[in-house]
Amino acid sequence: MPTNVSGRVPPASPGRQSGLSKLVLILVIMLGLLLIGGGTVAALYFTGVVGGDQAAEAAAAEGDAQDGAQKEPEPKPALYLPLEPPIVVNFSGEQRSGYLQVGVELMARDQAVLDAVKTHMPVVRNNLILLFGDQDYDTLDNRAGKEQLRAKAREAVNEVLSNHGIEGQVEAVYFTSFILQ
């Protein structure tokens, strides 16, 4: 290394030092801008100004609209009762006769209703057998006919419950199997 008259090492060349200091200065400025920009975006996001959750906004708006009104309680979970064995009936139409086998499940949201159905099961099954046996093959051969029969079956079960002083109702009747021959 070269030394000067006083015996000290001369400082690095001014051109090299100024280039290094400019690079450090640029990096510090870029890092500062990045932190400021990130902080601004985060603040706007968390305050809900930018990119807020649409579901949260909708829930807040709905909550504001219903402040004076009471909220409805959550519905109870669905409870199911299968009617075993499946119901089998004979029926006759104008051109043909045959049989219908239907697997039925009842749905209610109150266990007391299903317990009442179990208590009055002979009457429920009797009324469903009479209802199913009174159907026409051509009516049950399509979806609309089956949906109509489901509605009538629900009415028949609820009629049994109301005739025996039961307050609740069966909410739905589902066919878990449906054989029409």
Cβ–Cβ < 8 Å for 171, 155:
no
Which one-letter amino acid corresponds to residue 114? Answer: L
pLDDT in tens, the chain (181 residues): 555 656 666 555 555 667 778 888 898 999 889 889 888 888 888 887 776 555 555 555 555 555 545 667 888 899 999 999 999 999 776 777 789 999 999 999 999 999 999 999 999 999 999 999 998 888 888 999 999 999 999 999 999 999 999 999 999 999 999 998 8
Predicted model pTM: 0.59
- Contacts by residues 154-160 (CB-CB < 8 Å, ≥ 24 positions apart): 156/124, 156/127, 156/128, 156/131, 157/106, 157/117, 157/124, 157/127, 157/128, 159/127, 160/117, 160/120, 160/123, 160/124, 160/127
pLDDT score for 44 = 80
pLDDT for the residue numbered 73? 80
Tokens of 83: 């009617």
H-run or E-run covering 116 = helix 111-119
CA–CA separation, 105 vs 127, rounded Å? 15
Residues carrying CATH 3.30.479.30, the chain: 79-180
pLDDT at 122: 96
| CATH superfamily, domain at 79-180 | Band 7 domain (3.30.479.30)
- pLDDT, residue 63, reads 56
